[in-house]
Structure 1
Amino acid sequence: MSEQIDKRWDGLTIVGALGTGVYYAGIRHKSFTLRVPVAGDLVSAQEQYPNSPFQLHTIAVYHRQLLSLGDIPAEALTVDLLREGLTETDLAIIADADAELEKKLAPPSAATPTGAESNMPLSDKAIDSTKSAE
């Protein structure tokens, strides 16, 4: 089966594999493609499941982020299927993939690495303030 992923997610996904997988149509489906989260994911989860536990919101958000899970058809890949079929360890694998994806997409830090010299010259006043009074 050739996997068709929406082009808007090019470079914004991560591929992984669940340990146990989600059972569907007689098979445990393990390989997944997860896209970067967007603001609407959490909003939709909260709208869909108001007054529900945080864990259900989390599953609903991951459901929206999952572009594929094995060969499960998109219409069959539901929050209820994930809720009933994901083990805690598989949920942790998805959470780790989500964190890794966000880290991969984060802009580089503007902070100078520890130990690196500054390219800005120190003023005489700054140099004087570093001398200890004896």
Structure 2
Amino acid sequence: MTEQMNKQWDGLTVTGELRIGVYYSGLRHKRFTLRVGMAGDLVAAQELHPDGPFQLVTLEVYRRQLLSLGDIPPEALTTELLRENLAETDLAVIADADAALEKKLAPPSAATPTGDASNTPSSDKATD
């Protein structure tokens, strides 16, 4: 099942390292693998926490996206564990990894266009 899961997310993950890590079973776990977010992640998070604050829903979404966090067993990687043991700075690391993954997967047409700098007013004044 793990190998099959890895194939499902092949090319759709990013690996990173938390600054502080999540304390579990006597150790701080820092290395993580985050998969691309799916529509169902947000839907499920909102269903689980219909009246919860935005931050709790976001934490639930990231928990669903985390394929691994150190040596923490998947069944122990709960929203409650993250809520109690994930530093805000590490939450920002995960958010940055998620944004980097989305950028990496964006189609080339979504990239910043090149060559537009020559059409700026400053370049027109430079030729005067």
Q: Which range moved further: 105-114 or 43-52?
A: 105-114
In the alignment, what sits opposite 1:113? Answer: 114
| Change in CA separation of 1:26 and 1:99 when aligned onto 2, cut-off 3 Å | same
Pair 1:79–1:114, CA change in 2 (3 A): same
CA separation of 1:86 and 1:112: change in aligned 2, threshold 3 A: closer
Letter of the 2:62 counterpart: Y
CA drift at 1:10 = 0.2
Identify unmatched segments of 5+ residues in structure 1: 117-134
Task: Give the structure 1 partner of residue 40 of structure 2.
Answer: 40
Matched, 1:91 2:106: no
Which residue number corresponds to residue 13 of structure 1?
13
Within a 5 Å distance, the mapping from 1:14-29 to structure 2 comes to 14-29=14-29
Tell me the TM-score normalized by structure 1: 0.80
Q: Which runs of 5+ in 2 are unaligned?
A: 118-128
Distance 1:109 1:29, change over 3 A: same
Give distance in 2, aligned partners of 1:12 and 1:23: 27
Q: Look up the equivalent residue of 1:33 and give its one-letter code.
A: T
* Structure-2-length-normalised TM-score: 0.84
Q: Which has the larger radius of gyration?
A: 1
Query: What percentage of residue pairs aligned between the two structures are identical?
Result: 68
Q: CA deviation at 1:6?
A: 2.5
**Shift in Å, 1:113:** 2.3
Higher helix share: 2
Question: What residue identity is the alignment partner of 2:51?
Answer: N
Question: 2:68 — aligned with what?
Answer: 68
Divergent runs of 4+, >4 A: none
Inter-CA distance 112–84: structure 2 relative to 1 (3 Å threshold)? closer
2:113, 2:25 → 1: CA distance?
53
Count residues in correspondence.
Answer: 115
* In 1: Cα distance, 2:11 partner to 2:113 partner: 27
d(CA) in 2 for partners of 1:50 and 1:115?
45
- Whether 2:51 is the aligned partner of 1:51: answer yes
- 1:11, 1:81 → 2: CA distance? 27
